[in-house]
Amino acid sequence: MDTQPEPTASELRQIVREGIAVAVATGTYGISVGAVGVSSGLSVAQTCALSLLVFTGASQFAFIGVIASGGAPLLGAASGILLGARNTLYGLRLGALLGWRGARRAAAAHLVIDESAAMSVTRGSTSAARTGFLTTGIGVFVLWNLATLGGALAGESLGDPRDYGLDAAVGGAFLALLWPRLDSITSRAAALLAAALALALVPLTPAGVPVLAAAVVALGLALSGRPR
């Protein structure tokens, strides 16, 4: 791993600043999870627990979307697991990169998300990778959960979400999360195929099944390793 010299104190401070900037930009988006969670029927405590325990935006929105449409919680959980499976692939790379073992490795696994992985894999030394990972992962985790609580409390105070059109907020929030990631042929193909399958299944299957089927399509293409 250590193919480059150890970073200087100045370089480490720069990595910390970058990690904090990413954490602020990403973490504050958790307010939408809180708002759409309670508007979809979850309590404030349930919505906050979702961010604390799941801590991956796409999986959270998938679960909330199934609940909002009247689907079974198990279907929502299955959809979330499939969408979060990419974090397993990140973990395989980060395990060797960060070099932690035992309890540290287990604790770090909860912080494996797109942003913490991105801030680690480009580093040239173990210490730099760890700094990027921890700064970003912990920063996003703290801000995401605080923002979730704020959004949940605000959403609860609004009353019936249908009076404000918030019953459509899950789809809008999920689209906002998805849109920046459609930056390759594979990701755009996955989005189109998954959407087409979900739309086709809506009138034929119980609530939650279309989302689960779409997640299977997306995961299958992601694991296929097709060139961009």
Q: What is the per-residue pLDDT across 30-71, written as a single tens digit (0 to 9) for each?
A: 888 898 899 888 999 999 999 999 998 888 888 888 888 787
Q: Which domain holds residue 179?
A: 9-183
Q: Residue 86: CB partners within 8 Å, gap ≥ 6?
A: 219, 222
pLDDT band at 218 (very low <50, low <70, confident <90, very high): low
pTM: 0.72
Tell me whether residue 211 is in a domain: no
pLDDT of residue 11: 84
DSSP letter at 116 equals H
The C-alpha atoms of residue 180 and residue 174 are separated, in whole angstroms, by: 11
Joined together, the tokens standing for residue 194 give: 């998954």
Tell me whether residue 143 is in a domain: yes
The C-alpha atoms of residue 44 and residue 148 are separated, in whole angstroms, by: 9
Domain total for the chain?
A: 1
Task: Find, among 112, 81, 21, the residue nearest to 208 by Cα.
Answer: 81
The C-alpha atoms of residue 212 and residue 206 are separated, in whole angstroms, by: 11
Tell me whether residue 64 is in a domain: yes
Tell me whether residue 222 is in a domain: no
Query: Are the CB atoms for 87 and 56 separated by under 8 Å?
Result: yes
